[in-house]
Amino acid sequence: MDLTNFSQSSYFIITLIFLIICKAHIDDLFLAGVCTGTSAATFTVINKCSHTVWPGILSNADSARLDSTGFELPPGGSRSFQSPPNWSGRFWGRTGCTFDPATGQGSCASGDCGSKQVECNGAGASPPATLAEFTIRLGGLDFYDVSLVDGYNLPVLVDASRGSGACLSTGCVTDLNQQCPPELRVGNGEACRSACEAFGRPEYCCSGEYGSPGACKPTVYSEMFKAACPKSYSYAYDDPTSTFTCSGADYTITFCPSSTSQKSARDTSPTSTSSTTSGSDSATEGSSTTGTGDFPFGYNSSWLPNFVTGDSSRVFSSSALQATLTLISINLLVYFSLIFC
């Protein structure tokens, strides 16, 4: 097939395909707030436990509520929430919950929020409970941590994706219920209390004369928590090693994370994290950029003008032409996906 005779139709086909795909892509980015800057993080809550978990969500006083304040999440289930541009609050898991099908009334063995309903309706977790805490700032730096200050009831991992900065994983993936000292154990081992809750003494609660970073030091109990979960808050002033930052990220909160994820949460050594800003619809897309303004994948565009204007003297077979058009469309799509955001 003479490529010259095909120039006008090929140009039209390429343009049409490109516009259709890019319109859908841009619409997705607009809805997700990636390009518009009108929304902040997406939180995805995943249950990898072998039992049902009832996550609770508490927004701080200066933040709007998310779409739910509490819900049921069966094994293998997940649910996502879009946060407002500036939001702070916490997530935790409730276990051993029973709710009356007729009245909706009930309670939980650990992490209960006292609302007597699946929704927590603005109430926080009753200790002990593992907390995933966030402060989200659109266009600024997010802060997040996993806290054992109020005790422990479930292994939790927080992963940041699509953000820029350090964006390290954090959490407590060890089953502390199996290691909990008898004086901190709750019931049959469904949770492990903090020393503050168990004994109420100022040196454990960082209160009174111990109410400052200089006065409140680690205790034998907080050090036990820290040894098992080195990236988590073990007591109130554990900030230097337990607060993590990222910018423009989405966050995944996983209960009972897999062994693959556990490795990243157990690693206490600083890791090199690429600082990338993603403009695609998944964590893997947009992770590679040329940084030069050239087409990705080593694409040589020097012959493209001749091709689309019909000036090329090359002759292609029909199958070769189709393959060429497909390659061009893919490269154009990737290129504009990278530059739009």
For residue 329, the model assigns a pLDDT of 59
pLDDT at 85 over 70: yes
Residues 302 and 148: their CA atoms lie apart, in Å, by: 59
Band (pLDDT 50/70/90 cuts) for residue 241 is confident
Beta strands in the chain (DSSP E): 42-47, 54-59, 78-82, 86-94, 98-99, 106-107, 131-137, 142-147, 156-161, 170-172, 185-186, 191-192, 244-246, 250-255
Q: What is the pTM of this model?
A: 0.67
pLDDT (tens digit per residue) in 95-113: 999 999 999 999 999 999 9
23-to-12, 26, 83, 263, 327 alpha-carbon distances in Å: 16, 5, 25, 40, 19
* Residue pair 34/283 in contact by the 8 Å Cβ criterion: no
pLDDT at 128 over 90: yes
Mean pLDDT, range 19-40, rounded to an integer: 46
Count, residues in the chain: 341
pLDDT (tens digit per residue) in 173-185: 999 999 999 999 9
pLDDT at 63 over 50: yes
pLDDT at 194 over 80: yes
Question: Domain spans of the chain?
Answer: 4-32+285-340, 42-192+219-266
For residue 276, the model assigns a pLDDT of 32
For residue 277, the model assigns a pLDDT of 31
Band (pLDDT 50/70/90 cuts) for residue 253 is very high
pLDDT at 269 over 90: no
Mean pLDDT, range 141-165, rounded to an integer: 96
Band (pLDDT 50/70/90 cuts) for residue 40 is confident
C-alpha of 291 from chain center: 26
Secondary-structure class of domain 42-192+219-266 per CATH: mainly beta
